[in-house]
Amino acid sequence: MSEIKVLFENNKKWSLRMKRNDPLYFQKLSLLQEPQFLWIGCSDSRVPANEIIGLFPGELFVHRNIANIVYANDINCLSVLQYAVEVLKVKHVIVCGHYNCGGVKAVVESRKLGRADAWLKSIRDIMIQNAPELKQLRKKMDKIDRLCELNAIQQAQNVCQTKFVQRAWKAKKTLSIHAWIYNLRDGLIKELYVYSGNHNSMKNMLI
Ligand code: CO
């Protein structure tokens, strides 16, 4: 069987399984999506957003790109963010990086990827800004992993600075912005920071 045929077979089985659990599942889902969370994550195939936090279709609005970057001029990411915050009224925006991220690794190793080199500019900037801290880490893997954390934090801060999030906070809406890091080695997520407009500053500092 061709690899694409396998996908259709899998899809049929999945659809049957879902209907067996709840005969009205697709009927209900097709009418409405009410996710409480927006996930901004890396495109990496090893970080399937819904699956690692146990959410079903309809429960998580998702945007993914290489190395989970939020640029102030990225019409794609900003459209997703505005729609999630203002139309879907999500309560949480999660920026989830992951250790050993290929995009971050390429920056640390000064390796050329092609089209993505320009995309990764934000990571290069974060590396330069944090050079003294990163220099103290002797192992390359530790440097990459710390930069993955710093990147998730910076991109969460970029989300905080968008006018949609600022507007929601000014209007006293419940909205938290989270910086998370996912560990490919054990499948666990760690929260790095939470930003909440009610306190207008960091609520938690776990690192
Ligand atoms: Co990645």
Q: Is the pLDDT of residue 90 over 70?
A: yes
Q: Which residues are catalytic?
A: 42, 44, 46, 98, 101
CA of 174 to the centre of ligand 1 (A): 29
Residues of the chain with pLDDT > 90, as a percent, come to 91
DSSP state of 109: T
For the chain, domains (ranges, CATH) are 1-31 (no CATH), 33-204 (3.40.1050.10)
Identify the CA nearest to 189 among candidates 48, 57, 35, 58: 48
Using one digit for the tens of pLDDT, what is the confidence trace for 148-192? Answer: 999 999 999 999 999 999 999 999 999 999 999 999 999 999 999
CA of 123 to the centre of ligand 1 (A): 12
Using one digit for the tens of pLDDT, what is the confidence trace for 117-130? Answer: 999 999 999 999 99
CA of 19 to the centre of ligand 1 (A): 33
Give pTM, 2 decimals.
Answer: 0.92
pLDDT for position 43? 98
- Mean predicted confidence (pLDDT) in 2-12: 96
Q: How far is CA 143 from CA 69, 105, 116, in A?
A: 18, 9, 21
Confidence of residue 198 (pLDDT cuts 50, 70, 90): low
Q: Is the pLDDT of residue 203 over 50?
A: no
